């Protein structure tokens, strides 16, 4: 199953995609988060062709856990030491935006906005102290994500809340359920900026795999339905290039997570 949210007559509606069309939920107030939490939903509220659908933000996650420095080639790219435990940071729920929505870069706030294509893991049930061996039991599904980062704010603060949490700095795509997802231990992650490929890696390069991340996070925190884990990004981010490259209004960022989904987000200036 692929779940998302589409706009119908100006209203957000839960929908299921079968590869050709989006089937709309019969109950107007049903949401993606309801399905993640286990609600029974029928998709008999009409159909919209994929090419005609206005797909928007799938849902607002209760908590977003970001994992930094989790790809070996990225650690080399940055010149950092390989972490011995997952490098954890928060990503604000209010930063989430849709798979086709604009990324708003206010150059009065940041001049070093960067891209980070990531595989997002969606938690499916409340859990604590989950072993790596049992981690698959608490995964609802997967989605493409882009952990947009204001590198200058990260440097100024010494921690990452502002740099990671600005509005629209977390494009998130529709969700493919775990039972229909590919083997996520080796999926390809690619990013294009203005049709130039800038990231091309695979989740096989992760330092800490998804089971280990779930075990680690659930040791310290209760995980809840709809929580999102951003699992890290491969090498190729703009801030670690020579010369440095940053996102500017007018750019378009495309992300493809093999077998999981795609994002295509224009970069725009804020409305004044």
Q: In this structure, what is the dihedral angle of CA atoms 17, 253, 146, 153, given to the nearest 10 degrees? A: -150
Average pLDDT of the residues in 15-40: 95
Nearest to 122 by CA among 186, 218, 33: 33
DSSP letters of 93-153? GGGEE-TTSPEE--TTT-S-EE--EEEEEEE-S-BSS--GGGGGGGEEEEEEEE--EEHHH
Q: Which residue has the tokens 């698959």?
A: 136
pLDDT in tens, 94-115: 999 999 999 999 999 999 999 9
Q: In whole angstroms, give the CA distance from residue 16 to residue 1.
A: 7
Q: How many helices (H) and strands (E) does the chain have?
A: 5, 20
Q: What pLDDT is stored for residue 272 in this prediction?
A: 62
Average pLDDT of the residues in 114-140: 98
Q: In whole angstroms, give the CA distance from residue 272 to residue 265.
A: 20
All domains of the chain in start order, with CATH: 2-56 (2.30.30), 64-268 (3.90.850.10)
pLDDT in tens, 249-263: 999 999 999 999 999
pLDDT in tens, 215-250: 999 999 999 999 999 999 999 999 999 999 999 999
For the cut 90, the answer to whether the pLDDT of residue 19 exceeds it is no
pLDDT in tens, 48-58: 999 999 999 99
For the cut 90, the answer to whether the pLDDT of residue 35 exceeds it is yes
Whether pTM > 0.75 for this model: the answer is yes
């Amino acid at each position: 199953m692929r779940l998302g949210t589409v706009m119908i007559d100006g209203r957000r509606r839960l929908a299921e995609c079968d590869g050709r069309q989006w089937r709309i939920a019969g109950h107007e107030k049903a949401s993606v988060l309801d399905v993640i939490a286990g609600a029974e939903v029928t998709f008999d509220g009409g159909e919209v062709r994929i090419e005609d659908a206005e797909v928007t933000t799938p849902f607002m996650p209760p908590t977003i856990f970001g994992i930094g420095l989790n790809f070996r080639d990225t650690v080399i790219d940055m010149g950092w030491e390989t972490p011995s435990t997952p490098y954890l940071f928060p990503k604000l729920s209010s930063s989430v935006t849709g798979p086709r929505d604009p990324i708003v870069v206010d150059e009065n706030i940041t001049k070093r906005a960067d891209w980070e294509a990531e595989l997002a893991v969606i938690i499916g049930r409340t859990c604590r102290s989950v072993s790596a061996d049992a981690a698959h039991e608490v995964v609802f599904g997967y989605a493409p994500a882009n952990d947009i980062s204001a590198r200058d704010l990260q440097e100024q603060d010494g921690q990452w809340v502002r740099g990671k949490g600005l509005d629209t700095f977390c494009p998130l795509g529709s969700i493919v359920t775990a039972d229909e997802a590919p083997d996520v231990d080796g999926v390809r992650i690619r990013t294009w900026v203005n049709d130039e490929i800038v990231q091309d890696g695979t989740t096989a390069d992760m330092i800490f795999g998804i089971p280990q991340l779930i075990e680690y996070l659930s040791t310290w925190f209760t995980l809840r339905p709809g929580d999102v884990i951003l699992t890290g990004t491969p090498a190729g981010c703009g801030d670690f290039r020579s010369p440095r490259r940053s996102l500017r209004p007018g750019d378009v960022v495309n992300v493809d997570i093999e077998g999981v989904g795609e994002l295509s987000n224009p970069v725009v200036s804020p409305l004044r």
